[in-house]
A and B are shown apart, each in its own frame.
Chain A
């Protein structure tokens, strides 16, 4: 048997009306518009009260989306999934924006002495210094500037290598149609997912959890991943629908695929709640001051209102809204759910990063972290707390998220314009094109 007999039927045979590529020049305006909006929003955020914290809110929100695009790609390979082949190319192109995201990490590096000032000060390990901190001295083998910067490059090396490997091999298969590539990617996905799980966990520890270096939670990386994967699905649904409206992927990503993406979105919205409640429950029940202070800070300065918004907006409302099959299969219903959950994802990132650091005066760097330093009493009605939140938060805490999301959208469109819209010679393409839910 020759290899020719093993190759899959061509996309022209399977779906004669499907455009395999974006026409030259098409979508260029949209791509430039997204990038321009992103640059403008981030540029304007520079002049807000606490730029570095706002930028970190946006960056971690968007990083979760891009990393989970890589996760999605690897999961589809390791499970040898058929339904998702047409969506996978969008995810591959999205995951490849991890390369420019390395450059976009530079503001975090520049601001690192503001954001992580609790432990980046050299004196905390010096017993004779006034601000010596025995607990942080004990953690200094991990939490020190040099190793922190080394880890940044380790994480990005893993992510860039994996994203490049999966995307470039998939593109190679577009040329050769070799089914062995599918087998190879399925094998590499196993160690790939292992590396992904470790790197995203420790990145969440390093870049969010260490803002409050006394506090620790082993499930923290999982909660960050759960929120990021939910946001990735919401973003992918919106991007695919936008491409549909431009006349692309219409025969490839159909109601059936949106129905499955919607189920996935629902699942990880619930999974986020599950992991966050697990974290809260143990800390609440044990009631140890070294753990509870993280939530005590998040009950003050108006953040209690955001906690309530997350319970309702990240669980109760979307649970009731997305539960129905009809909503997940309706374009308008699913798009609304996706936009809603992306906004909520921004609130989630704010809740993780900002409390205790905006200080009620809009200055991040100088104020102290921790319950013992936090101003403003816990409690008050929801309205009072929300008013206090609005007083403390900056428009840039939303602006940076929107700006970086626009940049990632622009860069993804940039990648999409340069590749086939679907993996045209994937052996499971036919299964995906004919996919139906029951």
Chain B
């Protein structure tokens, strides 16, 4: 079947399933079939579905570690420069830069920057904030927060083909299989 129109206007295909077990099986079959840009939208976390979606582990941890180390470095630099270089003061017999006194602030700054890294890193990786997402155009997607389970295959998937992908999702038990425009 010829689908000559540009796939760039398509975001992907979304199919509905009516149980956690059904979407677990569907996710397994979809990734086994060779699809890679697959995601599940469920009312609650489904045990083990990450493995079936074959998603790469999140890179967020590395962002947080880098931010935390930056916090440690910044705090040490700041206190060393202020207390030992710019304006050295001797307080209660401690040398101007005494490392035990710097630990609490180093800890605070590490936590602060790690927290920023975690929140804003998550925003960045998820491309948030955004006001709308194409998947909301699916006719029954609102039930993803209630009692239905959705599987999406994005148009950027190398194996994506409107007709073939649609019939594949119908073949593995999906209902309301809809092509979602971007």
Contact = CB atoms under 8 A, between A and B. Distances in A.
A393 B101 CA distance: 31
A284 interface: yes
B72 to A, nearest CB: 12
B59 interface: no
B77 interface: no
A280 B100 contact: yes
Given A287-B92, A287-B93, A281 B100 contact: yes
B21 to A, nearest CB: 14
Interface in B61-89: none
Given A436-B47, A438-B45, A285 B93 contact: no
Contacts of B47: 434, 436
Interface residues of B, number: 10
Contacts of A395: none
A436 B101 CA distance: 42
B103 interface: yes
Contacts of B93: 287
A317 interface: no
Interface residues on A, range: under 10
A436 B100 CA distance: 40
A153 interface: no
B158 interface: no
B52 to A, nearest CB: 13
A277 interface: yes
Interface in B13-28: none
Nearest to A434: B47
B104 interface: yes
B103 A277 contact: yes
A368 B50 CA distance: 63
A257 B101 CA distance: 39
Contacts of B101: 285
Interface string A385-403: 0000000000000000000
Interface of B: 45, 47-48, 50, 92-93, 100-101, 103-104
Interface of A: 277, 280-281, 284-285, 287, 434, 436, 438
Given A287-B93, A436-B48, 14 more contacts: A277-B103, A280-B100, A281-B100, A281-B103, A281-B104, A284-B100, A285-B92, A285-B100, A285-B101, A287-B92, A434-B47, A436-B47, A438-B45, A438-B50
